[in-house]
Amino acid sequence: MNNHNLLVELFVEELPPKALKKLGESFANTLFESLKSQGLTAENSVVTPYASPRRLASHVTNVAAKGADKKVSQKLMPASVGLDANGNATPALLKKLQSLGADESAVASLKNEHDGKADVLFLDAMQAGANLQDALQKAVDEAIQKLPIPKVMTYQLADGWTSVNFVRPAHGLVALHGSDVVAISVLGLTAGNQTQGHRFEAAVSPVILNNADSYTEQLKTEGAVIASFAERRAEIEHQLNAAAAKQNLTPIEDDALLDEVTALVERPNVLLGQFEEVYLEVPQECLILTMKANQKYFPLLDSNGKLTNKFLIVSNISPADPSAVIGGNERVVRPRLADAKFFFDQDRKKTLESRLSSLDKVVYHNKLGSQGERTERVRAIAKAIGQQLGGDDLAAKADKAAQLAKADLITDMVGEFPELQGIMGRYYAQHEGLDNDVAFAIEDHYKPRFSGDELPRNQVGVSVALADKLETLVGLFGIGEKPTGDKDPFALRRHALGIVRLLIECKLNLSLNDLITITVKEIKNTDHQKSWAERMSQYGSVAYQTHMLDPNTYSLVSVFTYDRLAGSLREQGSSPQEVDAVLSLNPALLSDIPQRLAAVRAFSSLPEADSLAAANKRVGNILKKADGEVKAEVSAHLLLEASEVALHDALGKVKTTADSTFESGDYTASLKSLAALKAPVDAFFDNVMVNADDPALRANRLGLLATLHQAMNRVADLSKLAS
């Protein structure tokens, strides 16, 4: 078998940089999987993806020129259709065999097997292995079809008549098996062995590839292109760190920016630029954002993490004298920094409080009112939370922070850079001399913004962050804007997880369900404060409508949040049984849940755990089937059997310990103390008839089981651990 390494390259115009990495991986992996499914790769075949701004390529080792023939069993038809009463072939069978290239002589070799429904005829035959040309054509077509293209474009081919659809116009196709060209075609291109190097710095044009294995080296030496995305990224990172080290500085860490710049250059050359120090008067977040987002520069930080007036440029050219490149980039960034300084200076001429009236003109949702009305709701919720967490002082600060939290949405800086909302509010609050607790809360009330994000740095921020997320969740659920499937346009899942993290990680002594109740009440209270005429007068043509909250809002939000909590706990390593055991009790304080889970985990390791969990499940089933409500009450004089007396005595001792440790918050000790109940519980079920004929005895025994059930299920529902 003629096995060689294979290279396929599609040469195109500049690809979308934010999608390049995925495009390269998809192209290479899909092509490889297709060849593999067609039997042309070996067990040790390896695929290597390549992606640069103007090419997608795949290198696959040990690819056969022709796949091995294989024996296949072809299902023909039911035996009752293919054979007559004498076992001879019917015309239908002969016609089927003819279509497969066989004749009547093959009838004797047919297999008659039962497929579960009827006897079926099968024909064993040898299937010829795929040849590389056909297989590669199919693989490349499939790889192109399955590319995760953000948006396709339609363009005409050279003939002026034919149009094709692709992410960018394609201009070249390479397909080499060893040194041999594989004759395939795609997007109006025919495969060859030539590609193009760097637009300006290639030593030769075109680059004529010797074989599949010389691709990367020839592109690097003759074409001035680093074909590998990973290698190019590593080279950029190395140059960034080296250039920064010469200045005793550190480049800002941003993997997304590094990926994007890697997708913009073919052979990177890192250069140092700088700007006037006067711009450092602007908050560094503003300067960093404009340099990263607009110019793709890497700002440099000093040892204290403060922004300096120097930055790194990743250039795609390497001139002998880089001064023109550096000067051009410095000239380009200066106006953007000047704009940021202008916005910052102008914004500070007005206080945050003076901007609040403008929030009344910003529609939050046509069924939930303006940002101004929403602010009032968040204020009330934040104040209530602050009161519970820290009394009057915290409540007052939370109220103030919530009042000003959205005011920076009206500023010029946030209008230009929406990503700075909250951050600029903090700077402007500090400029006005407001309490630092309030200023930081204005910034932090958006946190946590994503998985793994930091939490607010003080209790004021925690209060406002909780209030903001609760108001969003309850308000939008209340008007029917619930997430569906993969669609969550208002990021309600993220808001729910934010609430969960705040309650658990900040160890807040707040009941989730109480918070939802407070929020529902506040939204209803502020919902109809203005008449229809007042609303229309204020909002003009905006289709603003009053509404009634869904009466099921409380339960919808509670279930949704607990579902998000359950998913989060499972992702963090807790088993589904452990999570169900804890959450089935719907614990009021989410801050207790980590300790409850740890207690359940410790209990599960006890030798008595399985037996007690099974017994708990059995007790629960008995109590469910009992007529009427069963009270956890026991009359000692009605305990007749030795086993029920023993259980009652053991339960009295264990319950005292379990309850006291539970109340002190030692959930692990509380659950472990239950181990002493295994023997008396087992004996009870072995020797005592619960559903006795005597109603008084039956009621007393059910009361004993109800007391047992109550004692066992304070930390978690242990029946969920039963296998």
Q: Mention every residue, 6+ apart, whose C-beta is less than 8 A from residue 649.
A: 680
- Residue type at position 684: F
pLDDT bracket for residue 104 (50, 70, 90): confident
Residue 659 confidence (pLDDT): 93
CATH code that applies to domain 3-67+131-221: 3.30.70
Question: Helix 553-571 and helix 576-583: axis angle, to 10°?
Answer: 150
- Strand, helix or coil at 494? helix
Helices (H), 626-677: 642-663, 667-672
Counting Cβ atoms within 10 Å, is residue 439 exposed (0-12), middle (13-18) or buried (19+)? Answer: buried
Residue 703 confidence (pLDDT): 92
How many Cβ atoms from other residues are within 10 Å of residue 685's Cβ?
16
d(CA 616, CA 685): 12
pLDDT bracket for residue 110 (50, 70, 90): confident
Structure tokens that stand for 502 in this block: 């705040």
- Strand, helix or coil at 57? strand
Q: What percent of the chain shows pLDDT beyond 70?
A: 96
Please check the confidence at residue 541 and state whether its pLDDT lies above 50: no
Find the distance separating the first CA and the last CA of the chain, reported in whole Å.
55
CA 214 to chain centre: 39
- Strand, helix or coil at 554? helix
For residues 602, 603, 606, 610, the Cα torsion angle rounded to the nearest 10 degrees is -140
Contact 508, 499 (CB under 8 A): no
Peptide bond into 150 cis (omega under 30): no
The mean pLDDT value for 401-407 works out to 97
Structure tokens that stand for 63 in this block: 């690819």
Structure tokens that stand for 402 in this block: 């919530």
Structure confidence by residue, pLDDT tens digits, 548-571: 688 899 999 999 999 999 999 999
Contact 317, 269 (CB under 8 A): yes
The mean pLDDT value for 284-301 works out to 95
Where, residue-wise, is CATH 1.10.730.10 in the chain? Answer: 592-721
CA-CA-CA-CA torsion sign (303, 309, 314, 320): negative
395 or 157: whose pLDDT is higher?
395
Q: Mention every residue, 6+ apart, whose C-beta is less than 8 A from residue 159.
A: 188
Contact 438, 369 (CB under 8 A): no
Contact 402, 461 (CB under 8 A): no
Q: What percent of the chain shows pLDDT beyond 90?
A: 78
Structure tokens that stand for 585 in this block: 């009790």
CA 417 to chain centre: 25
The mean pLDDT value for 688-708 works out to 91
CA-based nearest residue to 6, from 50, 48, 54, 61: 61
pLDDT bracket for residue 214 (50, 70, 90): very high
- What does the H/E/C string look like for 227-257? CCHHHHHHHHHHHHHHHHHHCCCEECCCHHH
CA-based nearest residue to 272, from 224, 332, 231, 327: 327
Please check the confidence at residue 544 and state whether its pLDDT lies above 70: no
CA 702 to chain centre: 48
Structure confidence by residue, pLDDT tens digits, 74-84: 788 888 888 88
d(CA 648, CA 700): 11
pLDDT bracket for residue 96 (50, 70, 90): confident
- Residue type at position 351: T
Fill in the DSSP letter of residue 589: B
Structure tokens that stand for 622 in this block: 């008995």
Structure tokens that stand for 642 in this block: 């030795």
Structure tokens that stand for 723 in this block: 């296998």
How many Cβ atoms from other residues are within 10 Å of residue 628's Cβ?
7
The fourth-level CATH superfamily of domain 592-721 is Isoleucyl-tRNA Synthetase; Domain 1 (1.10.730.10)
Residue 126 confidence (pLDDT): 63
- Strand, helix or coil at 153? strand
Structure confidence by residue, pLDDT tens digits, 230-289: 999 999 999 999 999 999 999 999 999 999 999 999 999 999 999 999 999 999 999 999
Residue 524 confidence (pLDDT): 82
Please check the confidence at residue 538 and state whether its pLDDT lies above 70: no
HSE of 161, CA atoms in CB hemisphere, 13 A: 1
Please check the confidence at residue 198 and state whether its pLDDT lies above 70: yes
d(CA 548, CA 525): 11
pLDDT bracket for residue 341 (50, 70, 90): very high
Question: Helix 492-505 and helix 553-571: axis angle, to 10°?
Answer: 70
Please check the confidence at residue 513 and state whether its pLDDT lies above 80: yes
Structure confidence by residue, pLDDT tens digits, 7-56: 999 999 999 999 999 999 999 999 999 999 998 999 999 999 999 999 99
The mean pLDDT value for 635-661 works out to 92
Residue 543 confidence (pLDDT): 35
Q: Mention every residue, 6+ apart, whose C-beta is less than 8 A from residue 222.
A: 197, 202, 203, 204, 207
- Residue type at position 644: E
b/e per residue 408-425 (b: at least 16 CB within 10 A): bbbbbbbebbeebbbbbb
Residue 197 confidence (pLDDT): 95
CA 644 to chain centre: 53
d(CA 258, CA 240): 10
Please check the confidence at residue 535 and state whether its pLDDT lies above 90: no
Mean pLDDT over the full length of the chain:
91
Please check the confidence at residue 540 and state whether its pLDDT lies above 50: no
b/e per residue 23-34 (b: at least 16 CB within 10 A): bbbbbbebbbbb
Fill in the DSSP letter of residue 629: P
Q: Mention every residue, 6+ apart, whose C-beta is less than 8 A from residue 449.
A: 494, 498
Structure confidence by residue, pLDDT tens digits, 123-176: 777 666 788 999 999 999 999 999 998 788 899 888 888 888 999 999 999 999
Q: Mention every residue, 6+ apart, whose C-beta is less than 8 A from residue 80.
A: 118, 119
Q: Mention every residue, 6+ apart, whose C-beta is less than 8 A from residue 663.
A: none
Residue 536 confidence (pLDDT): 39
Radius of gyration of the chain (CA): 36
Place of tokens 């009605």: 638
Contact 33, 186 (CB under 8 A): no
Where, residue-wise, is CATH 3.30.70 in the chain? Answer: 3-67+131-221
Counting Cβ atoms within 10 Å, is residue 532 exposed (0-12), middle (13-18) or buried (19+)? Answer: exposed
d(CA 6, CA 133): 12
Contact 203, 197 (CB under 8 A): yes
d(CA 436, CA 439): 5
How many Cβ atoms from other residues are within 10 Å of residue 237's Cβ?
17
Please check the confidence at residue 435 and state whether its pLDDT lies above 90: yes
Contact 50, 226 (CB under 8 A): no
Fill in the DSSP letter of residue 523: H
